[in-house]
């Protein structure tokens, strides 16, 4: 892969994000999102929270014209380098999910993966409004995200949290430290803001999407897809 000379200046989280993106779980989730999107050659695809290009690169390989948007300049720089080295035509822009630098009715599809849980509830609703705005009539919205809460009364929420705690503890002292840090983030209100699948179902209906479907997966995540009405 082509590596720019100023690689050392990139944020450390770029390397960690690439490791996560290459994991089998995320590769499988990528394939499920891409398959649901039903990308056709020459489709215009907007990837929201593109990161290191998990969805953008695969969309481009399938013949789509891709516009990748991420809030991190480092991520955008990294994705530009990957796109150039692979010969992919991907336009990369620094931007937010709540204010996409894309004109109205431009995209055949909007995709995203593990981006929206970083937004509060109002931000999620604005992100849905932005996705609908940039989609052409009949365009598709498909995304994966964390879909659970910290409610111990809910069986799935409880099972997800317990599984995460066990996974961290298996890592030994490093896992215990990470668990303590996450606990501190929750206590101080600085943790991510995932919501349940039912929340997304209602939010997409309220945002005037059609053919709305949301389903939880075998882990903490879920898959959602919908269409902007044709008229």
| Mean local confidence (pLDDT), 210-229 | 94
pLDDT tens-digit readout, 8-65: 444 566 767 777 667 777 788 999 999 999 999 999 999 999 999 999 999 999 999 9
pLDDT tens-digit readout, 112-161: 999 999 999 999 999 999 999 999 999 999 999 999 988 888 888 788 88
Q: Is the pLDDT of residue 3 over 70?
A: no
Q: What is the pLDDT of residue 124?
A: 98
Please state the domain extents for the chain. 7-148+194-227, 149-191
- Cα→Cα distances 95→17, 72, 73, 133, Å: 18, 8, 9, 15
Q: Is the pLDDT of residue 7 over 50?
A: no
CATH topology of domain 7-148+194-227: Rossmann fold (3.40.50)
Q: What is the pLDDT of residue 191?
A: 66
């Amino acid at each position: 892969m082509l590596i720019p000379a100023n690689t050392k200046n990139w944020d450390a989280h770029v390397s960690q994000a690439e490791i996560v993106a290459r994991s089998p779980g995320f590769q499988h989730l990528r394939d499920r999102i891409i398959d649901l999107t039903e990308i056709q050659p020459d489709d215009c695809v907007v990837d929201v929270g593109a990161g290191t290009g998990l969805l953008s690169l695969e969309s481009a390989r399938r013949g789509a014209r891709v516009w990748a948007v991420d809030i991190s300049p480092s991520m955008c720089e990294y994705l530009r380098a990957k796109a150039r080295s692979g010969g992919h035509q991907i336009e990369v822009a620094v931007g937010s999910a709540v204010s996409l630098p894309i004109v109205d009715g431009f995209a055949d599809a909007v995709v995203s993966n593990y981006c929206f849980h970083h937004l509060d509830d109002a931000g999620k609703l604005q992100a849905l409004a932005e996705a609908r705005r940039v989609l052409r009539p009949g365009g598709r919205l498909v995304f994966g995200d964390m879909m659970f809460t910290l409610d111990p009364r809910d069986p799935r929420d409880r099972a997800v949290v317990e599984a995460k705690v066990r996974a961290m503890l298996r890592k030994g002292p490093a896992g215990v430290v990470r668990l303590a840090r996450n606990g501190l983030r929750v206590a101080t209100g600085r943790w991510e803001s995932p919501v349940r699948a039912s929340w997304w179902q209602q939010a997409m209906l309220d945002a005037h999407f059609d053919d709305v479907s949301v389903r939880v997966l075998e882990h903490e995540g879920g898959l959602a897809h919908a269409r902007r009405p044709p008229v």
